[in-house]
Structure 1
Amino acid sequence: MEFRYLGSSGLKISTVTYGNWLTHGSQVENDVAKQCVQAALDCGITTFDTADVYANTKAETVLGEALKGERRQSLEIFTKVYWPTGPAGPNDCGLSRKHIMESIDGSLSRLQTDYVDLYQAHRYDPDTPLEETMQAFADVVRAGKALYIGVSEWTAEQLRAGHALARELGIGLISSQPQYSMLWRVIEDEVIPASRELGVGQIVWSPIAQGVLSGKYLPGQQPPAGSRATDAKGGADMVQRFLNDDVLSRVQALKPIAEELELTMAQLAVAWVLQNDNVSAALVGASRPEQVQENVKAAGVRIADEAMKRIDQALGDVVVRDPAKTAENAPARRPS
């Protein structure tokens, strides 16, 4: 396993980080989820990412059970707050002081820990003053319930504003968690330059583009039975943007590059995002322990410049680069 500093902080995390967004508490049984976590630990992964909204809090519970008995100081546990949880009452979502202060206690209880290493704003909340949000995060840090603060899918402008307030309050806003892959590069023009300037590191999700970059979806064919594209609860709606023959044909053109590097296509996809020096970690999930064991092999891989150019040539104009997509995909109002 390779480890990198998270942003400009002194916190080191495993470059392949285990995330349980679409699996624990929903797609796979608890015993299989625990096997996946154990496989991650056995492979040297020390960093685990979840959120209170995943499976409506069940994912945190499953992760807490799976990590019980492990030396806490040897782990980095991340969670998030924003999306509706519980019965979805008027204050059961967003980044108000009330929701943040109640949510951190719920997350700690479910995760069976006294603190999380990183507490993240799962989206930007346009309905709560940013000052209120950052003050609440600062109080969470000062109470010892979180060591650092991060955000997810914030624009460059939002990052700068949040970072400035965090600095005034004496807390570390050190991370951004955006979607990033060979096919989805919307953070490259604005978010990454701002992050480099601020000392913020990326923990990227969906580096395999919801499985599309694994090569299992073939042009002109129906998605394989049991794949994410066939699972309405497992992110099928997000996969659809990539399921057209032009994209899938170009993805198949990556196969010889992966073979030359002695990587699977999924490993190539994870290794690709880790070539970006602003990326601290790639989030990978799993519904089987074998998936963890395979994907972790991307850690420490160096892809030569020539191969990186061939990847760009193979994918061509199907790559999504528009930086406006970050704002477009964010909620305009707090969920009700």
Structure 2
Amino acid sequence: MLSDDNADREFEFNDKDFARVRALILKIAGISLAPSKQSMVYSRLARRLRACNHSRFSTYLDALESNSSNPEWEHFTNSLTTNLTSFYREAHHFDILKKQLQSLSRNARIEMWCSAASTGEEPYTMAITAMEAFNSMNPPVRILATDIDTKVLDHAKKGVYRMEQVDKIPDEILRKYFLKGKGESEGLIRVRPEVQALLTFRKLNLMENVWSLRPGFDAIFCRNVMIYFEKDVQLQILKRFAPLMNPNGFLYAGHSENFAMARDYFTLRGKTVYTVNTDKAAKTGTGGEGQARQVTA
């Protein structure tokens, strides 16, 4: 059945095409697209059809499904991921993080993981919070920032933002941790190199069977990510988080997310912050110095 919208569209996009897209993105990225997202999917993927010189969605999807190594898979995934983020989003989490960091020993390096880094605002806020917590531009903290979308990771690595993207950050923090652009860069602002130095960016799909991460995280941020996954997928990911965390490690979730189904692994502290249950946490307590662990589904 054809949607009424097809009359005004450059490409035909029927219910069968949409069903195929939904099945593919669910399989490779765990993202469950609601039926109401059909128009959004069309607008985002129509650009890919033009770029690849396809005249029909069916042939575009055929080309993907017939070749698992097709580089277009990356563009397909990037097009359908949502990257809404901002500095100090859900600011209460960073107040909690600051206190958590100050309570940890300064003798060992503290490891944190931002599992949906998007364009970088969240992991950079984590880094600034660490610097504030230790009153140092070189705190004993390292942050792994990952995302499935390579395009937003490239943006994040640059650490350059428009002034309106930082308008809610206090002036004192801006002066301390950002550099304002001049000349051709007027209206832009860049994260200071000292802040960037705390971060390592890497592509990672939470649906991959193997993550190859070292255990020993004191904090994992996985905020406003699980809402795109079915409950069984959420539980699968949460079960894989637990053995990567140090005892009493904190898991930070989004304001609309509830991980009650993982109560065997995490205990709610309040304000969508969870503590990993000790018997499920990493046994080494390496703080990231141990061997890489093949964390499988």
Q: TM-score range by the shorter chain?
A: under 0.3
Larger Rg: 2
Length-normalised TM-score, structure 1: 0.24
Task: Give the structure, 1 or 2, with the largest relative contact order (CA under 8 Å, sep 6 or more).
Answer: 1
Length-normalised TM-score, structure 2: 0.27
